[in-house]
Chains A and B, each alone.
Chain A
Amino acid sequence: MSTSESATSSKRWPAIRFNVNGEARIVKVPAMKRLLDVLREDLHLTGTKEGCGEGECGSCSVRMNGELVNSCLVPVLQAEGADIQTVEGLALDGELHPLQEAFLCHGGAQCGICTPGMLMAAAQLLDQSPHPDMAEIREALAGNLCRCTGFMRIFESVAAAVDAQSASPATRLTTEQMHHAR
């Protein structure tokens, strides 16, 4: 674990501590700063995208304490002490997450702006429900908009990741467990 401090820190602001992708981080920024902006500007984790900036499109989805959230709607003070996972935290030790592999193999990404949010929403689904049917996949991704009209391939990519999971003998593991098991 390393601790890094925001380059834009100011003595005026309180120190806010949280973990991002397993790493302890401290930022000194205004408490109302959006988690999205802290991730991108202060921590330089630019995988998380801003789409609409009003919680409608899901591009900025990250996981906070095991729940999917739109990081554009989280004032960073409310992330104090939280465990946050961004798209940068999906691949482990240079190996893609099964969802990322499935998106690559099945054309799940076109322009790519929605992709990090789609991946995080799908990862959340697989942790809650390891064997979702298509209806569950659609519901889980209903808050993530793709403007390249790529929804079918995205749904198919998630279904393929579910199938890949089921095909292996180490089934019924969550995506997190799958990762650690590999």
Chain B
Amino acid sequence: MIALENTKCECGHQNAVGTVLCESCGKPLDKELQNADTPLEMRYDGVARRSQKSNPNIIDRIWNFFSSVKIAIYLIVITFLTAMLGTIYPQENTFISNSFDPSVYYEQTYGLTGKIYYMLGLTRTYESWWFIGLLVMIGTSLVICSLDRVLPLYRALNKQQIRKHLSFILRQKTVFKHKLEEDSEAWTESFGEALKKKGYKVHRDGDALLAEKNRFSRWGPYINHIGLILFLLAVLARSIPGWQVDTYISVPDGDTVQIPDTNYYLKNEKFTVEFYKEEELPEQLRGQNRAKLFETKAVLYKCVDDCADEPGAKPVLEEVKRHDIIVNDPLVYKGLKLYQFDFNLTPRLNAVHPVLVDKRTGEIYGPFHLPMKDAELVHELGPFTLKLDANYMEFAIGEDGKPTTLSREPNAPAFVFIVQGPGLAPEGEPYIYFPMLKDKERFAQDTINRELADKIEIRVDGMENVDFSEATTHLNVRVDRAVPYLWIGAVISMIGLLMGSYWQHRRIWLRVDDGELSLGAHTNKNWYGMRSDVAAALKKTGISAEPKSLDNGGNNA
């Protein structure tokens, strides 16, 4: 950039190096620009936007890079193009199950394209370092672009000259020339009045006039950018440890489960689901179970004593909150939020309360409490003593012919007791008991127990003696401390957006030289409205002009 030695305008004002239009009178400073006929480039009113150095150092170069709108547009475009790629296949974070293995899943489900997708890191597009890097660059661009422009703009708009150079006025994009019949000052006055009625701030200098409206809308984009920067910072703040938590817990009916990495425990007192009745569903959806409502009666506890994560610790819990959690209505306590996410209606047997029947005498002893897990090892029932010898959660006969268990869930529980009592061997006789009727029949409990089965029986009398969880609720645990700041950023951004989009900054300059009216107008957007404002005001002073005729060409924003 050639440094202009003489930047003093003919009006007497000294301009900074790089100024395009004189800061005072608006006359184009560059000789070539002076002689051209095209409408003037009014960006920043033509003031010097940055100091032009002949040897930009590294700081300047980085600054200029991020200050460029072209680069900003590139960044936006690259960001949304890569975002598109991330929607081709489901992202890793949509899978919650523990058994999900991304290194095989994508290849298995989608073949070669899935494998390539995974290798390129696209399965984690939005958490990848390069996507975050793009967002960081956009944030940087937001800061630097705005700073670089808002200050010169403010300077330019703050001190505006009323009487502008003729070439400035006549090379605006909306121009009107007219021979005035009446007195110029009187006409200017009435024109000013007409504009005032339209909400313009009018400044006069004899027969020169500057009318301005809605300057505040120029700050709109900058306020919008500030809002966006705040928003991005709030998003970033979520990676501060403790600021964001997102896990899932499964709580069967009646159970209390610790929320991982916290001192809180959640109890599911009862989970209920209500389905739409057949009549309530339209024909096409009949036969499907559509859930109308699902709800967890939840209680939140805090551990107040013996909370340390030691084996054998028995945490003492105190209730802090109670809430019926439904979708869209979480349990909220001190920033901790528990959302209804999903459920499972597979029942789980928790405990039974069987009785011991002495078949010979007909006496019934008990009931006694027999939970599936951690049952008492010794039960005294009348004259009988039951010693729990072995338990199997899902009973089966193994390959070696010995009893074994197929899982750790009580799907087919079996208990082996050593029974001591009247008429039985002193060291006790083994008796195997299946709480579930289906297993009793499948494994032929009475046959296995042989003679003992003729003497005693352990059975459950009535469903009231069976304790099971009907359902398991899946809840989503969330903490997100950055959210309030997000909303603040979003609101500020919205305000800036409204300011900038729904109002336009309009200015009208005019001067009368020997009865010759020269009028020029400029707006940052919506030239249609600018022209109609000028035409309407002219009409009020008795001059008719078609808005379209005021158009002086040039590309419009």
- Physical interaction between A and B: no
**Interface residues, chain A, with chain B CB atoms under 8 Å away:** none
**Interface residues, chain B, with chain A CB atoms under 8 Å away:** none
